[in-house]
Amino acid sequence: MSVEDLKEIMEGLPPAILPAIAHWEADAEQLTIQVEKGALPMLAGHLHRKHHARLISEHVADERREEGCFILYLVLILPRDKGVVTCLAEIEPLYGSFPSITSEIFAANWFEREVQDLFGLTAEGHPDPRPLMLYDDWPADRYPLRKDFDATVPIPRVPSHYAFKRVEGEGIFEIPVGPVHAGVIEPGHFRFSVAGEPIINLEIRLGYVHRGVEKLSEALPYAQGTFLAERISGDNGYSHSLAYCQAVEAAAALQVPERALFLRTVYSEMERLYNHMGDVAGIVLDTAFTPGAQMAYLLRERLMGLNESVSGSRFLRSLNCLGGVRRDIDHVASLRINAFLVKAKLDFNDFKMKVLGMPSFLDRTETTGVLSLEAARQLMVVGPVARASGIDIDVRRDRPYAAYKDVSFNVPLHREGDVQARFLVKCEEVYESISIIEQALDQIPAGPISVHMSAVPEMLARFSLVESHRGELMHWILTGAGCPHRHKVRDASFMNWPALEVAVPGNIVPDFPLVNKSFNLSYAGNDL
């Protein structure tokens, strides 16, 4: 979208909003609007309805020392690479409140609850202001993302009770599950309301692995921030470190070498491949087709072995650096990757044919855990979950980064929104990932794999979107003196967890693990 197109958005704003706009500016990619906080719901609602803008983040920066206030940021993306609109509003410390936009954009629900927890600012008019992120016994007057919060002081524990929603009626029972589970998985609490086996309501309580990642980042030099970013969520650490690097590089106006961009694309797809293998294996395992699941698990293990042989890390750790990558792929390694992928594609064909030929698998996955297109749009879900419900979005195509503009690929799309649709989207993405890797290795140019990055200017806001195997994740950075002044991270799971609460009711309790596995959400990526 051109600057003129973004200016047209301003010219088309409702007259009632115009007096509340203090300042606006547009460049080739972004429209920034500073507005009085009272006009935020009207402005956000207009952008969403008129221009189909999708909320990718709502967060706050503590700028009391610099500006004498908190600043609320709404970041909305326009469809198909038509630009970004960022809305800013000042929040006075004395009052410490802002109007909720959840009634206009429901996907703001968790964002605003998170702001309340971490900054102590009230979202007025929010339909569900209960705590979201912090532990249940966290004191009410400690706000960890304020600049005056001292992370070295021990936090006293205050007994409290989280009020789960109750479903009343004859024959209605509650089944609490977690937060500690019977497998080697992260903690999360699921509260089911059931009438026999059918599930009437599901409520999810997370936050048990909140580690204060965003606060830690504020004290880390940019070069060290990549290592923190890749530990946000273990299985998509490469995607997180890539998003972090791209945000900092954008602030520094750094041109990454072409060879590094192609290598980043290859590594990104290698991460997607092994994760999708694990995802589809887990879905098949939860339908009790163990031999079929083992076929995919074996492929996943072999892919992780390939990762290690090429990069030195099964999880592709420590590959990204500011200005490029740390490990090259030479001609011999490129041939080895291509030969491996030819065999992997044949093995995956065999797996898919066997699984989709099993009537019991089809019976368990068809019409199970349906997320409708309407619900998916309202919740603004991302990744395979969105594409399985008919939402045609993919950051690699819509806002190309790395070398994705130089390769061709399809974006798999299904409309049923059930477990089987999510399974099929991931299967089809496996083939696309193989094709992308082959194209990237074939086209990769000669040259350096990294360049030195000079000092990063202060008080610049930049963000990066990356399509991980779960979907779109975001790193937004307001630069400071040698390290982020504010670092906002939003994993794909943060957008998709609320959708699980919508997809599960109407199914039976034994199908919950299957539905949950088809979403395959990260606890750590959500909790930060």
Q: What pLDDT is attached to residue 430?
A: 98
pLDDT tens digit string along 200-209?
999 999 999 9
Mean pLDDT, residues 228-236: 94
Neighbours of 24 (CB within 10 A): 18
Tell me the percentage of the chain whose pLDDT exceeds 70. Answer: 100
For the chain, domains (ranges, CATH) are 3-124 (3.30.460.80), 173-205 (no CATH), 213-517 (1.10.645.10)
The better pLDDT of the pair 4, 160 is held by 160
ω into 179 cis (within 30 of 0): yes
DSSP summary character for residue 155: P
Residue found by looking up tokens 């629900």 in the block: 109
Q: What pLDDT is attached to residue 414?
A: 98
* Cα-based distances in Å from 422 to 135, 139, 383: 32, 40, 10
Q: What pLDDT is attached to residue 241?
A: 97
Greatest C-alpha distance within the chain: 71
Residue (of 193, 112, 108) closest to 379 by Cα position = 108
Task: Say if residue 1's pLDDT is above 70.
Answer: no
Task: Determine contact, residues 496/473, Cβ cutoff 8 Å.
Answer: no
Q: What pLDDT is attached to residue 94?
A: 84
What phi-psi label fits residue 372: left (phi over 0), alpha (psi between -120 and 50 degrees) or beta? beta
pLDDT tens digit string along 75-102?
999 987 778 999 999 999 988 999 999 9
pLDDT tens digit string along 247-281?
999 999 999 999 999 999 999 999 999 999 999 99
Task: Say if residue 183's pLDDT is above 80.
Answer: no
Mean pLDDT, residues 191-207: 94
Q: What is the mean pLDDT of the chain?
A: 94
Q: Indicate if the alpha-carbon torsion angle 264, 265, 270, 271 is positive or negative.
A: positive
Tell me the percentage of the chain whose pLDDT exceeds 90. Answer: 86
Q: What pLDDT is attached to residue 351?
A: 97
DSSP string, 491-520: -HHHHHHHHHHHHSTTSBGGGHHHHHHHH-
pLDDT tens digit string along 380-419?
999 999 999 999 999 999 999 999 999 999 999 999 999 9
Mean pLDDT, residues 112-132: 95
What is the token pair recorded at 149?
A: 């919060």
pLDDT tens digit string along 23-82?
998 887 789 999 999 999 999 999 999 999 999 999 999 999 999 999 999 999 998 777
pLDDT tens digit string along 467-522?
999 999 999 999 999 999 999 999 999 999 999 999 999 999 999 999 999 999 99
Neighbours of 281 (CB within 10 A): 22
